Structure 1
């Protein structure tokens, strides 16, 4: 388990972060419905949404994540074990809950599934890196796009996803230069807003990696906020200037890895 060796406080717990964001009018519409894991909540959420994510409240790299899809014959449950994705079918919720309860060892959350927008047939989300130097203002220092493999339940590179620049994505979408600039500015502004809201809840925070996604109706959502050692090394190969900018900010608060 990674032990942070530099000064930048973090907010631990996805459910806690979601509640803070829901409490603020500037961010509440960005948050998918998220509740603690229980039999009652699983029943309610599975009735309301066709797909759900069941995640560790504290965790990263796609480890320990389940995706639940309601189908005509019951429920399909997808899980990640190391780098392999596994599918199981359950005819009813009681048997599904019994299985999950037996295989879950951590505090978990249940989150509304978002149908991610796609590029070249592959789902993607967008990591917005937001940082501040000591006594400085929050600044968006870089963006990267994580493109998932077809039918994979997560997009990150640990599970076979690839990283491209935001500009590459927007060119693939056929957007004009002005619209590309506007989209990047919009995401950057949202990232700074999120960082301000969360850092008001805890002092001494200097970095956040915020995962945004657009759904099939072009609505923007926050999938996750990582304030505990968000990684930026994937940018080194695709956007060296952004990588160096993030690294420069990181050095200011004592972080010397990427």
Structure 2
């Protein structure tokens, strides 16, 4: 049984180290969604048990009205019809969250986030893989199954911080530290041996926690020319017995 997004969010937000890195997230209701749209320029509406970027709806403020997107489908709605547009994309049997949208940094003009693959083959959490996930053109999700592709994280951070190696190293360390804390926090209440942590960097250089996935996919790491990470992941899987 997968652990719902809201359960993990509530567990993480209790941790004072993680709390500043979590975007505002609530169970979705019509009134809550409208309030968040008054506060933020965009919101994301996600199924509590969704994976692979499936079913995610982005609502973005326009000068007049809203752009509501799900996958490759797009609707323009006014303030009075935006909830109807959102409902048209929702699956009735799923519970949804509404989350603050982030103004993410870009790599060569395209949004990206960071996938950290953590495993606990023995008694200690370790990072088996870290890579940037670069979205396909015109996509607002970076997932592998939605056309996202892997880039070496160092390469993307060097581009982002304009060859400032000390900033790259500091960011890299922060990503590692946060990821280990996330794994330990989620593991307190759930018996898990793998975790996929998705982080993002906004326009101000702040690191945000997008999601922690208790059943992470590893195919992203097969796209890297250096196969060290995917070999480590597969060796640890054998050790864990997955």
Whether TM-score is above 0.5 comes out as yes
Look up the SS of the partner of 1:234 in the other structure: helix
Which residue of the partner structure matches residue 201 of structure 1? Answer: 189
Partner of 1:251: 238
What are structure 2's unaligned runs of at least 5 residues? Answer: none
Shift of 1:213: 0.3
Matched, 1:58 2:49: yes
* Contact 2:68 2:85 (C-alpha < 8 Å) held by counterparts: no
Q: How does 1:1-258 map to 2 (within 5 A)?
A: 12-80=3-71, 85-93=72-80, 95-105=81-91, 106-134=94-122, 136-173=123-160, 174-202=162-190, 204-228=191-215, 230-238=216-224, 239-255=226-242
Q: Distance in 1 between matches of 2:103 and 2:167?
A: 23
Q: Deviations over 1:117-155 (max 9, x none)?
A: 111111110001111113x11111110111113331111
Contact 1:49 1:112 in 2 (8 A): yes
Q: Secondary structure at the match of 1:186?
A: helix
TM score, norm. by length of structure 2:
0.92
Deviation at 1:233, TM superposition (A): 2.1
Alpha-carbon offset, residue 12 of structure 1: 1.2
Unaligned runs of 5+ residues in structure 1 are 1-9
Name which structure has the greater RCO, CA cutoff 8 Å, separation 6+.
1
**Aligned positions, number:** 238
Distance change >3 Å, CA 236–CA 149, structure 1 → 2 = closer
Normalised TM-score (structure 1): 0.87
> In 1, Cα distance between the equivalents of 2:134 and 2:89?
29
